[in-house]
Chains A and B, each alone.
Chain A
Amino acid sequence: MSSDAAIRTGAIPERLLEPPLTEGVVTPGSLDDQVLAFPDLRPPKQWYIGLAITLTALVIGFSFIGYTIATGIGVWGNNSPVFWAFDIINFVFWVGIGHAGTLISAILFLFRKRWRNAIARFAEAMTIFAVMCAGIFPLIHVGRPWLAFWLFPYPNQRGVWTNFRSPLLWDVFAVSTYFSVSLMFWFLGLVPDIASMRDRTTSKVRKTIYTVLSLGWRGAASHWQHYEKAYLLLAGLATGLVLSVHSVVSFDFATSVVPGWHMTIFPPYFVAGAIFAGFSMVVIVLVVVRETMQLKNLITMRHLDVMNKVILGMSCLMGYSYMMEGFTAWYSMNEYLHHTFMNIISGTYGWAGWLTISCNIFIPQLLWFKKCRTSYFWMIFVALAVTVGMWFERFVIIVISLHQDYLPSAWRIYKPTMVDFGVLLGSFGLFFTLVLLFARVLPVIATTEVKAILPGAQPSHHGDDHE
């Protein structure tokens, strides 16, 4: 029997059929009840505990930021030659985390990967929050933060224009574009859901807010038509950004003369790393959300399985990149580059180098096993390892490359201070506080999109073809 015939007769082997993306009986109505009801319920005790923890971290972090702004960058461990350290590590780390959301919501949307629908909303929200966390660092890391607005090119009476040759300026454009497009994309997707919530809620205050936010959405066919078009356009726009933003961030390093930074592999390597770290963060948060918000039927083990496969793929790409770094160091016969690479695997910070390699390359290999891909313990273990590993990867790139560059006379060891750790803690506090608040006030799952992939929601001829 030819495959065409098989399709025609409907006799597709079981294993080739795409399994349903939801578990159990999910109807549009039950979905609304399940997802859109959250904001109207009293939050559970765990939520308050979680919020208390994240808010504490947030307050600690922001007090340290205040202290830094009041006193100067000197309260951090940065020195000469390590002029950048936690500040830029954290920036690159958080921008990277954001990439998973855009990839899931935009690229997978364009590729018609229907499994993305259930997790896209959350991932996108994480993008927004991660970019917010990232955005803090360029602002506070400058010596005179009150003048940071000079980085924006706008007509001014000082008669001085920004320097368009500087990758930092490219960063300004890349990150601000990324944030605004992601925000629009996310908000656009939210509009129909907010409208549903507006119609459901009984609280007057909420109703007012949701009314404003839903922009008069009535679910008319013309609304849907415009909505779908705008969504498609924004998805296309965001797709380019997934690739460009971290490439531009990598230019900060790749276009410099610092050995260990000056490498052509950086843009793809950074994009892969960003998706890698982002997916791991999404897995961690999804597992928590799935368990605490009783969404097991919508965010199924299959979702996590697919996510883990992406992580595994990216881990292999990272392994390739690391090996290429070593190869370049050897093949270029550049003694400075060679020295920097040797520092990664055997210098003062050799431990950080090996931690990075272990967390990003060795540990994710566990995901070759289906058992690990579908086990909470193992997937969380891997995802945490990747999060730590990817943070340290930036540590390796920034601190190890800087601490010993060209002239041995200028070499120095870098030691972070308590304030460095405090600010890092604060960024996590901000991120998870925003995640928790989001989970309370907005639909964590795009109900309209999931409704489209419920069994029977797709146009079908029930086995018959068009003939």
Chain B
Amino acid sequence: MKTQIPPSPEPPVEIPRYWRTLGEREETPEARKAAHDEFLPGAVDVADLPAPSEFSRRGFLGLMGGAAALAATVACDRKGQGTIVPYTRRPVEVIPGVANYYASARQEGRRAYSVLVKTREGRPIHITGNDEHPGFKGKTSPRTIADIMGLYDADRLRAPKAEGRPLAWAEADSRMTAALAGAKAAGKPVLLITGAVASPSRKALFADLKAALPTLEHLAWEPVRGDGAAEGARAVFGTDVEVAPRLEKAKVVLSLGADFLSGEDPEALAAFGAKRRLSEPGQATNRLWVLEGPLSITGSNADQRFPVRPSRIAAVAFALAKALQSRGLGLPAGADLSAVPAGVPQGVDIPAEAWKNLVNDLASARREALVLCGAEMSAEAHQAAHLLNAMLGSQALELRAAEPLATVKDLDAAMQGMAAGRYAAVLLWDVNPAYAFPRAQAWKDALAKVPFRAWMGLAEDETAAQCQLLLPVNHWLESWNDFGSGELFILQQPAIGALYDTRQGEDVLLAALKGLGAAVPADYHAYLKARWQKEVYPAGSPVAFERYFEVALHDGLVKDGKAAPAPVFKGATLAAAAKQALAAQGGDLELVLVPGFATHDGRYANNGWLMETPDPVTKMTWDNPLLLSVADARRLKLNDGDLATLTVDGTTLRVPVVLQPGQAKGVVTLALGYGRTTGEMAAGKGVNAFPLMALDPAAPNLRSGVQVAAAGGSKPLSRTQAHHRLDGREIVQSWSLAEYAQEARDRKKGPELVTLYPDQEFPQHKWGMVIDLAACVGCSGCMVGCQSENNVAVVGPEQVTRGREMHWIRLDSYYEGDVDNPKVVHQPMLCQHCDDAPCENVCPVNATNHSPEGLNQMVYNRCVGTRYCANNCPYKVRRFNFLEYTADKVEPESLIYNPEVTVRPRGVMEKCTFCVQRIEDGKIRAKGEDRPLQDGEITPACAVSCPSDAIVFGDLKDPNSKVSQLVKANRSFKVLEELGVKPAITYLADLKNPAIEGGQHEL
């Protein structure tokens, strides 16, 4: 929010007048003249020269000075000059120029992320994970980092609205109360649909509401959380469960279409990365088996991956259970696998040898093995996965009973209820069924029959268009809440006051409760605190509650919660599930609907940072193409960018096609969350795939009997990387463990590179970076973190298509081997800060040069934009502002900028700075505290945002720094070292741990 100038309340103060002589006090003419003449009597202007009639020397100089000052002021006028106003009364804790960090939390689905919010002068500008959280350890997901953009979304609804005109909250409240009271009086049901409930306080509030309004029906709905998972869990546990992998305890991990390394789960990534960062060949690591249809991020990191059609995943899982049973692992009580034949199921292309290895791996790892099943997989597959984990007795898994989620079936029932006129009122809070429900039109028609329809959300969406009363709610950065995850409570606190005339959603419900006559606290903050005092605050604690709560807010979490009992596995339904799994067929082509990497279920489709972050596998931005296996595409005569029609059950979509190596034959993939019709950024990007979802809760994301045909024509793909072949170039190193052992033993050093120039000298520091490709999974968290930290511009799909994206760090992925199932390596690529940088000597105006600390610096002000540096950069990491990408940004969008980083205008080159602002900040801090810089004190945004800690930054001059140690590692290599540019970034070779023929298992 703009700082308002406070009105000056007091009248102008009379300045006291002082006097030197009595004459002055009495203001005699002589005294007045004496006071006017600066010089004492006797002093003359210029020695004895007669004063010119009008111009004295002093007068002349005065005029000249004035004129010069005027000329200078006029000449200094700059375009876009604004008024800056200092704080007249500085808010407590805010020091201009110094960032404040607040712990808060954010929810996505059932998951709550404990975060630190960086604020500058009251504006949240950057998000990282909360380093006090035992699991996240300062890490978070790409979507969490990017969600700060939702706060400053220009499309946010700024005041309550009804019938297209703004409304006061009081009126909105009274309308809501009237509708609810009416329903209560008439005994008619009221339907409340929200997202997943992860907050105990919110849950308590719902209970209070239910008590005050007995006819309330509540559905917690997450359209892409996987109904199959819910159905499967209910079948074997009798309750919904949340599966939390504990990869640090796993030696063997089997993913059945589970994309658990997608970046959504920073804990999993951290554990995975820790297991893969080997410094010696013999060290303990893990092995990741992936059986999946589409190539996922997890699949791209697999040690052994086999493309399997999702319709057959359940059969594979049951066959594995059978095989484990034959290896002597006991079946849980009630489970019966007699109908399952032994061996690889029909229609699954896994070689017998590999199958043997997989069974061996699982059977020998036992408690240290873990099976994860993808949310999109069928209920039977989930049952089988739970069975496998139960058989293995896996300790690498935490199962928690969870609040139930509504499935498509529940939504369908609610829709039929609405159509039948069952409901008196509907409240839709942070859900968008008019977009995300498969039968959107039927939904809209049914909703129209409900007399009172209220919508609560951030920005008007497809559903808002169907509602009468629109109530804008606070962004999570403006809200209070708590989340409980196991033994830990996480607190959410606002990092900024509400930007607009909005309310927290819970406050809307509290107002409704009050209207219904319940005695409730004034606001949700008070409600939350009251509940905490009662439920969480340990009785008899020596600390006063206020202090206790303050500390909890500061830390963002409280650790002494109570652990919930793990749900008990029951095997009764398994025989039927196995039968169904064996019979399941996908037909000629089957479709998997996956959540969009950027959009998730569509709620982030208006987030430019996320939309422009390339999908880690397809490298597509802003669009959801249909992914086809290369073989299927050849058969259908389709090529990259060709338009195709996708027909499922009578619904036809026209989509561009991308050929995805590694995609299972007979499987096509389409991402959900695109094709929104509202939102400035979101509208018209891609197609909406929700209408293709099935209404069968066992597997709504899997469709069989899909038809794909060429539609004629093509669409330019907004894709950031189209070449994934290395053509024998040694740009990345990826070794198996055996190769690693060999390389560590007898790795040849390349010839020494000679140069005509003297070596650069670095008197104090020499910044460098090490990137461990074995730990990097390609989640793209670094890209989003960098974008947020460095004000990297969003350019839009058309510019990306033309090859003008601005990311300072990008993730290159390279494929090797079989096109049906390639080996994939991800490589973060950013400015290498070469000591002999080829970009530096070609700049005619010295706009890019080398700092005495080894940074390749870019001076934006000096750059005229010849682009020669970018041509001469072998890594192509320089980004040019081909057009004006930033000047049109006004509040609120411009509030997101990091004030420490210049916003670049058009015509200027830019690139990674190693977060020079953070380096300087660290140096200043150390100097202020009169101590040397400590290793690890300075971390660039990419390193902070890397959940698997693949990026290490530090001073190469310090022989004890982590980065200096890693540079010497036996996996280190530099990209294009032979050019002699002396890059400051060292990569560590990727490692794969495939099962070795003959049954040896180095684990």
Contacts and interface: CB of A to CB of B under 8 A. Distances in A.
A419 interface: no
Contacts of A71: 883-884
Contact of A408 (B726, B843, B863, B864): B726
A405 interface: yes
A151 B864 contact: yes
B875 A144 contact: no
Interface residues of A, number: 49
A73 interface: yes
Given A142-B907, A143-B863, A167-B842, A80 B883 contact: no
Contact of A172 (B725, B727, B844): B844
Contacts of A411: 722-723
Interface in A341-366: none
Contact of B729 (A72, A83, A143, A335): A335
B864 A83 contact: no
Contacts of B843: 163, 166, 168
Interface stretch (B298-306, B404-412, B798-806): B798-806
Nearest to B848: A163
Interface in A155-171: 160-163, 165-169
B846 A72 contact: no
A107 to B, nearest CB: 30
B906 to A, nearest CB: 5
Interface residues of B, number: 56
B866 A256 contact: no
A407 B874 contact: yes
A151 B724 CA distance: 39
B922 interface: no
Contact of A407 (B731, B803, B868): B731
A150 B846 CA distance: 10
A410 B813 CA distance: 11
Interface string B841-878: 11111100000000000000011111110111011101
Contact of A409 (B721, B728, B882): B721
B845 A163 contact: yes
A361 B292 CA distance: 55
A214 to B, nearest CB: 40
A144 B846 contact: no
A79 interface: yes
A268 interface: no
Interface string B872-916: 101110111111100000000000000000000011110000000
B814 interface: yes
A19 interface: no
A143 B844 contact: no
B738 interface: no
Interface in A66-84: 71-75, 77-84
Contacts of A410: 721, 812, 875-876
B684 interface: no
Nearest to A76: B882
B903 to A, nearest CB: 15
A244 B867 CA distance: 24
A83 B802 contact: no
Contacts of A252: 868
Nearest to A253: B871
B976 interface: yes
Nearest to A166: B844
B85 to A, nearest CB: 30
Interface string A78-95: 111111100000000000
B521 interface: no
A313 B981 CA distance: 40
Contacts of A79: 802-804, 882
B290 to A, nearest CB: 23
B800 to A, nearest CB: 10
A163 B841 contact: yes
Contacts of A412: 722, 803
Contacts of B728: 335
B979 interface: yes
A339 interface: yes
A257 B838 contact: yes
A410 B875 CA distance: 8
B846 A143 contact: no
A57 interface: no
The CB with the most chain B CB atoms within 10 A, among A75, A166, A168, is that of A166
B829 interface: yes
Contacts of B724: 408-409
B876 A80 contact: yes
A382 to B, nearest CB: 33
A62 to B, nearest CB: 20
Contact of B879 (A72, A80, A161, A255): A80
Nearest to B846: A163
Nearest to A79: B803
A451 to B, nearest CB: 46
A6 interface: no
Given A143-B908, A407-B876, A411-B723, A256 B871 contact: yes
Nearest to B849: A163
Contact of B866 (A141, A160, A408): A141
Contacts of B827: 409
Contacts of A84: 867-868, 871
B842 A143 contact: no
Interface in A232-260: 252, 255-258
Nearest to B827: A409
B880 A80 contact: yes
A165 B867 contact: no
A245 to B, nearest CB: 17
The CB with the most chain A CB atoms within 10 A, among B804, B810, B814, B975, is that of B804
A256 B870 CA distance: 11
A439 interface: no
A428 interface: no
A16 interface: no
A409 B838 contact: no
Interface string B491-502: 000000000000
A151 B844 contact: yes
Nearest to A148: B864
A142 B864 CA distance: 6
Interface string B950-980: 0000000000000000000000000110010
The CB with the most chain B CB atoms within 10 A, among A71, A143, A160, A166, is that of A143
Interface string B712-743: 00000000011111111101000000000000
B829 A142 contact: no
Contact of A72 (B870, B871, B876, B907): B907
A49 interface: no
Given A74-B804, A142-B866, A169 B727 contact: no
A166 B880 contact: no
A81 B870 CA distance: 8
Contact of B881 (A81, A143, A336): A143
B907 A144 contact: yes
A406 B976 contact: yes
Contacts of B879: 80
A412 B876 CA distance: 11
A139 to B, nearest CB: 10
A67 to B, nearest CB: 12
A168 B872 contact: no
A115 B13 CA distance: 94
A402 interface: yes
A77 B801 CA distance: 11
A163 B843 CA distance: 7
B906 A80 contact: no
B868 A168 contact: yes
A335 B729 CA distance: 8
Contacts of B829: 407, 409
Interface of A: 71-75, 77-84, 141-144, 147-148, 150-151, 160-163, 165-169, 172, 252, 255-258, 335-336, 339, 402, 404-412
15 contacts: A72-B882, A78-B882, A79-B804, A142-B865, A142-B866, A143-B881, A160-B862, A162-B846, A163-B845, A256-B842, A257-B874, A258-B871, A407-B875, A408-B724, A408-B731
